[in-house]
A and B are shown apart, each in its own frame.
Chain A
Amino acid sequence: MIANIAAYPTDPLAILGIWVALFLMLAIYSYPLYKENPVYRFAEHTFVATSLAIGIVVNLTSLRNSAITPLMGGNFLYLIPIILGFCMYFLLIPKQRWVSRYPIAILVGSSLGLGIASNPLPSIISQVISTITAPKAGTALWAWFPGSPTGDWFSFAFVAVGCICSMMYFLLTYEHTGAVKPVTIAGRYFIMLALGAYFGNTVLFRFSMLAERGQYILKVLGLVPI
């Protein structure tokens, strides 16, 4: 990941930059590849400082664009969120902490309201509809053997039974005993299968990220094109 450079840099400062980036990477990876050490701690603190400073600058920039500029432009309504924003800092003063309740109410209220109202449709109703929709003939997506003429009833039954068992596992105020027990145990196995597939996809993600870091070393050393 050579930031916005299409070819190997020629400007000495840019070259210094990619070598410093390489040094910092190796400093961080000295922790797993070797052990915790001063060079690792130096890189660790460098990153904490960088991300804090840049985080503040970016947030202040967004704040200026979305609040200060409209305010200067005469829209005094924006004074309210700015004042409420300062009220957040009363969180640090135990005695006056109640002041921070109002900005937090807006923060939580606005995002919760959105989430709750819009959640049932895609996350519950669509999922039920999708489970009880009979497979179309010849649908490759579901088919155990692509293009089976009658559609993939095996997979349909697998998902149907699996959804019922997994949902039963998540009954929280009923003990999993008696007749319910085998169903919840089966439910737990379906959940483990899902988590296994999830793990397989996570490995792909993590290894792609690490591969890109390995590729970066070869790029800085000039062994592969940028």
Chain B
Amino acid sequence: MSGQTIWDKLQQVDRRVFYWILFVSLTVPFLTPLGLPITVTPSTQAYYDGLKTIEAGEVVVLSINSGVSAWGDCLPAMVASVKQVHNQGGKLIVWSIGYNDCDITWTRIKTTLPEVFSTWVEGTDYVYFGYCPGQETNVALLRDDIKSVYTKDVRGVATGDLPLMKNINDASKIKFVMSSDTGDAQIYYIRQWKNGPVNYVKSGKPPLVAEMGIAMNKSGDMVFFLSGDEFGLVAGSRGAAELEALVGRKGDATITMDSISVSHVLLVLAIILANVGMFATRGKKK
């Protein structure tokens, strides 16, 4: 190994060393909270402002299009959003066009918000319809006739008999849909609801769409937020931590921010190191 500079050795470091460093750096901060300040970005503020416009009795939809495997990034924003809808006195319809394990996600949300679900009555204040595949086809059907897709809620109660659904059978009476996504289900709502055929909307205003999915949507969905097709965008655990600060309920996202800080600094240092190494070895080779 003689004649090998520090940079050559760094190039040949076994990748498992990085993997161990990363996994430890992501796990240890949970034991020793740092509690660094979190400033709110404009797209999360716009999402929160949208939630603040809910008046008592108005109905909004939570569309759980992210799976249990994406809880790390998607669950905290859903919990904070349901909490805020409850604060506003709104009513909530919940379904999923994304993943067949949404029942466990919904149960987890209820378990995490006892203060909400002790006062809410199922069927009157909120309704849970569960999973139905069909992607964009389904979203278009739900726009015109909810009963054609969901004949009954998860408990087996017929949709028509639910007090909440008494005079709601299409998207015209829904204020907006909060879509939690790992993939591209939100574009279905943008296309079929926000930009859908307008004359189904008796009230003249199509329901709005807000996105609270994985952090990558901060890039993919930003163009739709800036063009007004989405009124709010909460992206990833960082967006959820900002929303938790706005809603005033510290949750998993805020706790995770410490791990994010440590791991991100490590990654930036690793990238800088790698580049310095490259330039150094390139300089030596010349």
Q: Which residues of A contact B (CB under 8 A)?
A: 1, 3-6, 29, 32-34, 54-55, 58-59, 62, 65-66, 69-70, 110-111, 114-115, 118-119, 121-123, 126-127, 129-130, 140-141, 194, 197-198, 201-205, 207-215, 217-218, 223-224
Contact = CB atoms under 8 A, between A and B. Distances in A.
B71 A212 contact: yes
Contacts of A197: 219
A214 B26 contact: yes
The 4 A-B residue pairs with the shortest CB-CB distance in the complex, in nearest-first order: A212-B72, A214-B27, A118-B191, A205-B215
Contacts, number: 160
Contact of A211 (B107, B112, B217, B256): B256
Contact of A208 (B42, B187, B223, B256): B256
Residue among A127, A207, A210 facing the most chain B CB atoms (10 A cut-off): A207
B219 A122 contact: no
B111 A6 contact: yes
B131 A58 contact: yes
A212 B256 contact: yes
Contact of A3 (B107, B236, B264): B107
Nearest to A226: B111
A198 B219 contact: yes
Name A's interface SS. helix
Interface of B: 16, 19-20, 22-23, 26-27, 30-31, 42, 68-73, 100, 104, 107-108, 111-112, 114, 131-133, 135-137, 140, 149, 151, 187, 190-192, 194-196, 214-220, 223-224, 226-229, 235-238, 252, 255-256, 259-260, 263-264, 267
A4 B104 contact: yes
Contacts of A122: 187, 190-191, 194-195, 224, 227, 229
B185 to A, nearest CB: 13
Given A205-B236, A207-B260, A121 B73 contact: no
B22 to A, nearest CB: 7
Contacts of A62: 131-133
